[in-house]
A and B are shown apart, each in its own frame.
Chain A
Amino acid sequence: MENVVEVKNLTHYYGNKLVFENFNFEIKSGRIFGLLGKNGTGKTTTINILNGFLKPTSGQCLMFGENSYKLPPLTKARVGFLIEGHIQYSFMSIKQIEKFYSSFYPKWKKEPYYELMAKLEVTQDQKLSKMSCGQRSQVALGLILAQDPDLLILDDYSMGLDAGYRRLFLDYLIEYAKAEAKTIFITSHIIQDLENFLDDCLIIDYRSVLVAMPIKEFQSKFKQYKFHAPNPELKLAKNAVIRNFEILKDKATIYTFSERPELEAYLNSLNINNSTLEEVPMSLEDAFIGITGKY
């Protein structure tokens, strides 16, 4: 399968502040790829580098084999870009903005745009500046669908949207992506919405990659165990077995990629009583918090 995006040894600093170092990942054609991370971990920075709006300190980003910092117009036409906050030209109306963009894209299909607009209770002459955040998100999505790009880059599509609009956005996106075999690169701070949507995930923390694997593999391999810990001062360092550890009063929680026997052996080696150890199922959001921590 062809690599649509390739990020190689990417390092970026803002002044003296390191954002990430030797960052590597690739997105294969037709996959839905989620970049997940807490606020300030570099999600938008990565997207800005990918779209050529930021020159990385070192390393390389390729989109369709081209250097992302100097994308030729034909390659840019293959990329649909949703800016964080569904930013669009708010001085235009629904009709004007469609007319404007249609001239730039040879594969332009206005039908999906107007189909989506028909669901909003607005006239075609309605200015975007007079629309709600949810309505603007549908305009931004409709424009991307009309562009018919091969790669969709969606920076925090969920920002400012209520549950209904988030669902509408994803429902449309899923239907479109599956039908047209599109590649999607998405970030969001509402993890639970992406549970049945993503194919692959990259979970990043400050300056490091925590997880890079298919989402199903992550959800099947990453586990949460709880046990009764009489000593509330108990501390377990992060290592190959313990990916994260939390304790609240006498309830200890371990997050791990290890199988139960390996975990039990490790706790026994530390003389920690784990007779009450039990696995607790997790949603994707639980797993995300488990791997990144609450703070």
Chain B
Amino acid sequence: MYSALLYKEWLKIRWAYFGMMLLSLLAIIYIALNLAYYTEFMTAQGFWGNVILLGFPFYSEIQYIPLLTGIVIAVVQFSPEMNLSRLKLTLHLPVEENTLLLQMISIGFVILVLLFALIALLLWIIVGIYLPVEVVITVLNATFPWLMVGVASYFLTTAIIVEPVWTRRLILTPFALGFLDLFFIAENPHMQLNLFLILFALLTSTLILFSGYHFKRGIK
């Protein structure tokens, strides 16, 4: 049954997913070209000095792409369900309702994690070509919150879309914006902070159960 659900969700998500993957790859290619250009003209040490001393964020092109990806995937996955209340069809399937909703978001979560892992891997490889491993780890630590915000934005957007009560949507939206902003606050993200961000992002996954409960109760 899970594979059938995966099939349905993939049919909805695939083109947007490939689109966001292409956008991510373009951003990484741009970062790679920049890196090649600056290390050629400034040497690797000089370039990294500029990054440290002047705060030159050579990888910032990737900053908002995971956030946007999370929102886009949530919209293409759940808008067709809410349009004409198609979610009733899904909830009528012979599976427990909360299990169905959690399975649906687990599919979105897994494909986002795969994309974000690809982004991290490519950054690792590209930065590793020009700069030492300590710098690579610093870059990955710094970009980690940007990847996790993609997960949180996905969970929060699904909860907002599935929520049938407009007033609750209006309350959830500023809460979601404030929550997502937390992921951009830290100037020097480190391992401990990133572990907290993982926990924060995963906690938002439960919100869809409340929205689903309101939908199921027929609250409008």
Rounded to whole Å, the gap between the CB of B82 and the closest CB of chain A is 12
C-alpha spacing A55/B218, complex, angstroms: 7
- In the complex, which of the residues B7, B85, B94, B217 has the most CB atoms of chain A within 10 Å of its own CB atom? B94
Contact A104 B4 (CB under 8 A): yes
CB of A89 within 8 Å of the partner chain? yes
Contact A100 B84 (CB under 8 A): no
C-alpha spacing A91/B13, complex, angstroms: 11
C-alpha spacing A92/B89, complex, angstroms: 13
CB of A48 within 8 Å of the partner chain? yes
Rounded to whole Å, the gap between the CB of B77 and the closest CB of chain A is 11
C-alpha spacing A96/B14, complex, angstroms: 15
- In the complex, which of the residues A54, A74, A77, A103 has the most CB atoms of chain B within 10 Å of its own CB atom? A103
CB of A73 within 8 Å of the partner chain? yes
Rounded to whole Å, the gap between the CB of A60 and the closest CB of chain B is 16
Residue of B nearest to A93 (CB): B11
Residue of B nearest to A102 (CB): B4
Contact A55 B217 (CB under 8 A): yes
**Could you say which residues of chain B place their CB within 8 Å of the CB of A102?**
4
**Could you say which residues of chain B place their CB within 8 Å of the CB of A76?**
92-94
Residue of A nearest to B97 (CB): A52
**A89, A92, A103: which contacts B1 (Cβ < 8 A)?**
A103
Contact B94 A81 (CB under 8 A): no
**Could you say which residues of chain B place their CB within 8 Å of the CB of A91?**
11-12, 80
Q: A48-B218, A54-B218, A91-B80 are in contact. Are A103 and B4 (CB under 8 A)?
A: yes
Q: Which of B145-168 contact A (CB under 8 A)?
A: none
Rounded to whole Å, the gap between the CB of B80 and the closest CB of chain A is 6
**Could you say which residues of chain B place their CB within 8 Å of the CB of A88?**
86, 89
Category for how many chain B residues contact A: 20 to 34
**A53, A83, A100: which contacts B7 (Cβ < 8 A)?**
A100
Contact B4 A83 (CB under 8 A): no
Residue of B nearest to A105 (CB): B94
Contact B95 A53 (CB under 8 A): no
Q: Which of B174-215 contact A (CB under 8 A)?
A: none
Per-position 1/0 for A96-114, Cβ under 8 A of B: 1001111111000000000
C-alpha spacing A90/B218, complex, angstroms: 23
Contact B217 A73 (CB under 8 A): no
C-alpha spacing A79/B12, complex, angstroms: 26
CB of B27 within 8 Å of the partner chain? no
Rounded to whole Å, the gap between the CB of A76 and the closest CB of chain B is 4
C-alpha spacing A83/B81, complex, angstroms: 13
Category for how many chain A residues contact B: 20 to 34
C-alpha spacing A70/B217, complex, angstroms: 11
- In the complex, which of the residues A55, A89, A96 has the most CB atoms of chain B within 10 Å of its own CB atom? A89
Contact B88 A83 (CB under 8 A): yes
Residue of B nearest to A106 (CB): B94
Q: A83-B85, A87-B84, A87-B85 are in contact. Are A104 and B7 (CB under 8 A)?
A: no
Contact A96 B11 (CB under 8 A): yes
CB of B134 within 8 Å of the partner chain? no
Contact B218 A89 (CB under 8 A): no
Rounded to whole Å, the gap between the CB of B86 and the closest CB of chain A is 6
C-alpha spacing A104/B216, complex, angstroms: 20
CB of A51 within 8 Å of the partner chain? yes
- In the complex, which of the residues A52, A88, A96 has the most CB atoms of chain B within 10 Å of its own CB atom? A52
Contact B11 A92 (CB under 8 A): yes
CB of B111 within 8 Å of the partner chain? no
Contact B95 A89 (CB under 8 A): no
**Could you say which residues of chain B place their CB within 8 Å of the CB of A54?**
217-218
| Given A89-B89, A101-B4, 13 other A-B residues pairs in contact with their CB atoms under 8 A | A54-B218, A73-B95, A79-B92, A81-B89, A83-B84, A83-B88, A87-B89, A89-B8, A102-B4, A103-B1, A103-B4, A104-B1, A104-B93
13 contacts between A and B (CB under 8 A): A53-B91, A53-B216, A55-B217, A87-B84, A90-B80, A91-B11, A92-B8, A100-B8, A101-B4, A103-B1, A103-B3, A104-B1, A104-B93
4 nearest A-B pairs in the assembled complex, by CB-CB distance: A54-B218, A103-B4, A77-B94, A73-B94
Chain B interface (Cβ < 8 Å from any Cβ of A): 1, 3-4, 7-8, 11-12, 80, 84-86, 88-89, 91-96, 216-218
Chain A interface (Cβ < 8 Å from any Cβ of B): 48, 51-55, 73-74, 76-77, 79, 81, 83, 85, 87-92, 96, 99-105
